[in-house]
Amino acid sequence: MSRIIESLKNFFSSKKKRYINAVMDVLSKNSYVILDQINTKLSLEERYEIIESLIKSSKLDGFIIKGKHIYFLSIPNNLVKQIRESLKSTGRISLQELNEKLQFKGFLFNAALQRIEKGYVGKRYYYSRDYIRKYISDKLNKVKDTFEIRKISEEVEIEEETIISIIMKLIEHKELSGLIRNEKEYITTEYFEKLLTEQLDELFEKLDEISFKELSQRLGVKEEELEPFLVKILEANPLKYTLYPLEKRLCFKK
């Protein structure tokens, strides 16, 4: 029995060695390897675990990336450290410089950047997440009324949709006090309350009631964002308005 066990150990050991040798052979010619395309009888999980153990034992420098395939990207630890320190110091690095240092293209280039340091890709620069969040919050916290989001997008050359997503997270974490209006404009909470009050005063003379949906469309915000403001106004004017949250409508008392 002991001979059989030893034979099995040698068999699995040899499979592992052949796999590692195959990986190293690819890496000697390329900066990445597609692990699931290596010719071996090892399962995907075993291939992943072997490479992970080599990374942990400092026999390999780099990252495993999961996408359509399982990739190992070979990146020297000293280069990773250098990029991280540069981003921490200045908040951004030119893509030209990064392309010269990292030998990846397209999806793998972006994936490598995100593994090195979470951030955002512009047209010319890669920005750290902290840098962009601070840049946006510093600018918008100075706003007194409204601000066109495209201006930030143009300044940092990051897609407007991404900037809106960052702003929404800053609002959620209470680092900004405002809303996104018409999916293109930032409006402060204080200024929105003023616009809402003016809108309701105008509608008071014309309507008996209005749905949350219609009112939110008039103001260019989402219904769920509008409701807390309506509650606040109702509390301040209980003799003027009646709120029906379940029916999603506001009635004017006349």
Residues 6+ apart with CB under 8 A from 111: 65, 67, 71, 73, 104
Same CATH fold, 192-252 and 2-74? yes
Contact assessment for residue 147 and residue 140, using Cβ atoms and an 8 Å cutoff? yes
Run of H or E including 56: helix 44-56
Domain boundaries, the chain: 2-74, 77-128, 130-189, 192-252
Q: What is the pLDDT of residue 32?
A: 95
pLDDT recorded at residue 9: 38
Note the CATH architecture for domain 130-189. Orthogonal Bundle (1.10)
| Residue range 2-74, CATH number | 1.10.10
Written as tens digits, the pLDDT of the chain (254 aa) is: 344 334 433 434 688 888 988 999 999 899 999 999 999 889 999 999 999 999 999 889 999 998 889 999 999 999 999 999 999 999 999 999 999 999 898 999 999 999 999 999 999 999 999 999 999 999 999 999 999 999 999 999 999 999 999 999 999 999 999 999 999 999 999 999 999 999 999 999 899 999 999 999 999 999 999 999 999 998 988 889 999 999 999 999 87
Which CATH code fits 192-252?
A: 1.10.10.10
Is the alpha carbon torsion for 157, 147, 165, 217 positive or negative?
negative
